Every structure is written in structure tokens, then in C-alpha cells.
Amino acid sequence: MIHRDDTLTQKSNQRFIARAMAAPMLARADEYELARAWRDTGDEKALHRLIGSYTRLVVAMATRFRGYGLPVGDLIQEGHIGLLQAAARFEPERNLRFATYAGWWIRAAMQDYILRNWSIVRLGSAATQKALFFNLRSLRARIEGKKPESATPMLSPELRDDLARAFRAAPEEVERMDQRLAAQDVSLHAPLSGAGDGGASWQDFIVDDAPTPEEDVMARRDHAVRRAQLKEALKGLDLRERAIIRARHLRAQGATLEELGEKLNVSKERVRQLESRALSKLKKAMLEAQESQRIPVAA
């Protein structure tokens, strides 16, 4: 959805942009002197002059990113954060113009803002995901321009593979990002097109896989009953059998036959036999407990 500012906001943005574009550019020696004054002595006047002279970079970058449907004023604010970060990290000794250095920080701040706010569903922050989000449409348009037969709303397998090689990404990532860019956030309460008199909305088709309250209560009750039955059944085992069952089946990481053989001073084959006999006893005891608790059906 494209954001549209009201009239007052548009006029305010226009006045700010006009002042920014009218600010004089700094010579190399002047910007180095201001940058040193801010870095070495914390001179805020030097910082304000440095930032004011390069606000035009923020405005120009915001204009480039306005196609993502976000408020231009917000983009400018985020760009100013990047400009301040650039001023804090700029090193005049490297003989680099401040405009060149600040451009990267301004663009990074705006891109992070767009990724956070373009959709309610958060996008991935990995480098590949960011590259796909900001460059997929333009690269796809260039490839389709060279191959007019591939210019279709649907992403063909051949075009998908070409884009995947260009971005060094998996074809599935390219396909998912293409689908995200082609879609828009839709309210779950929005009516379906062609729903007729039924008035169905998107939320009517959401499936909840979680158990119902009744199923949850029954599952917890059954678990408690089985736990009590198992605890009672373990009493029917001798000490060695009980130790084997606890070590092999009632711990997050069960012990091996070799480890139990060394501990009990028997062979691992003997441990296996004892385990098999103990499991048979437990199975019989559990079945008997379940049978005794079964409610008889009335005739």
C-alpha cells in the first residue's frame, strides 16, 4: 500500500527539502576541519554545519527509495541517523570525501527502516535477502528486456535460475522473494472477492492445528494416569532391572549396553536380556492396570 502524506505534511517536507538543497557544499579542507573539531573536541556547531551541508544526500537517497510506499519524512529521518553515524566514524586522515563515506551509512539506515516497515511480516536480514529485496525487480526487468519472451507476471523456471545465479542464492529463495514483492498485506477481516452472500473473509480459512481445550485436558489427564501406572509398575522390578530401565529409557540421553555392563559388572548381552525381561514385566503390569481401570459398559 502506497503512503500518501496530507497537504500540511507535504508542504512541510517541501520547505525542509528546499532548505537542504540551498545549503552550501563544503570544500574538502572545510569538511576535514569540521570533522576533526567534532571528533576531537565534541564541537556541536561543527557537527551541525557538517550535517547541514550534506542533508541534500539524505534527500536524494530518500527520493530513490520512495517507491516502497513509506513516508518520505520518515525516510529522511532515518537517513539523518545514518548521516550522524557517518559523522561519528569519519576519519579525515584517510583522505576520503565525507559525501562518499556518508552515502553508505545513509543508504544502510534507510534500507534497514524499509525492511522493518515495508510489511507486517518481517523480512530476513541476511545479506542475500536484502540483496534480493532491493535488486530483484530491477534485475528481473533487465533480463526480461533482453528476453521479451520471458516477460510474464509468473516467474518462469529459466528466469528464476538466471536470477538465482546472479544473486548466488537458492532458486527457492528467489521464488519466495518474488512472491513477497508481488503481494500486499491483507487484513484477515477483508472479504474474499466473489464470496457472495456468505460474506466469508480470509480468517474463515485459517486452520488452527492446536488441540482443543477438551483434547488438551484429556491429554494431560492421560499423561498423569500413565505416569502413575508406570511408577507403580516399576515397583514390580528388582533393583537391577529398575536401574537398567531408568538408565536406558527414563533419561534424556540413555546409557549404552556397554556402560551399564561395566557398571553392573556383567556383559552387555546380559544387560540386554535383563532389559528385555524388565520391559516384558512393565508391559504386562501396564496392561493389567489399564484393564482394571476400564469402566464397564452397561448392558
pLDDT band at 151 (very low <50, low <70, confident <90, very high): very low
Among 6-10, 75-79, 241-245, 261-265, the minimum mean pLDDT is found in: 6-10
CA 234 to chain centre: 46
- pLDDT tens, 226-242? 888 889 899 999 999 99
pLDDT band at 283 (very low <50, low <70, confident <90, very high): very high
Contacts of 79 (CB under 8 A, 6+ apart): 57, 58, 59, 61, 62, 106, 109, 110
Q: Is 195 exposed, middle or buried (0-12, 13-18, 19+ CB in 10 A)?
A: exposed
pLDDT confidence of residue 267:
93
Q: Is 219 exposed, middle or buried (0-12, 13-18, 19+ CB in 10 A)?
A: exposed
Among 18-27, 73-82, 99-108, 265-274, the minimum mean pLDDT is found in: 18-27
Q: What is the mean pLDDT of residues 180-187?
A: 70
pLDDT band at 64 (very low <50, low <70, confident <90, very high): confident
Distance, CA of 246 to CA of 194 (rounded, Å) = 61
**Cβ-contact 62, 75 below 8 angstroms:** yes
Strand partners, 201: 191
pLDDT band at 59 (very low <50, low <70, confident <90, very high): very high
pLDDT confidence of residue 76:
92
- pLDDT tens, 88-122? 888 888 888 888 899 999 999 998 888 888 776 66
Residue 180 or 103, more confident: 103
Contacts of 176 (CB under 8 A, 6+ apart): none
**Cβ-contact 50, 38 below 8 angstroms:** yes
Residue 112 φ then ψ, to 5°: -60, -40
pLDDT band at 194 (very low <50, low <70, confident <90, very high): low
pLDDT confidence of residue 148:
46
Ranked by mean pLDDT, which of 2-6, 163-167, 227-231 comes out on top?
A: 227-231
Sign of CA dihedral 33, 39, 42, 45: positive
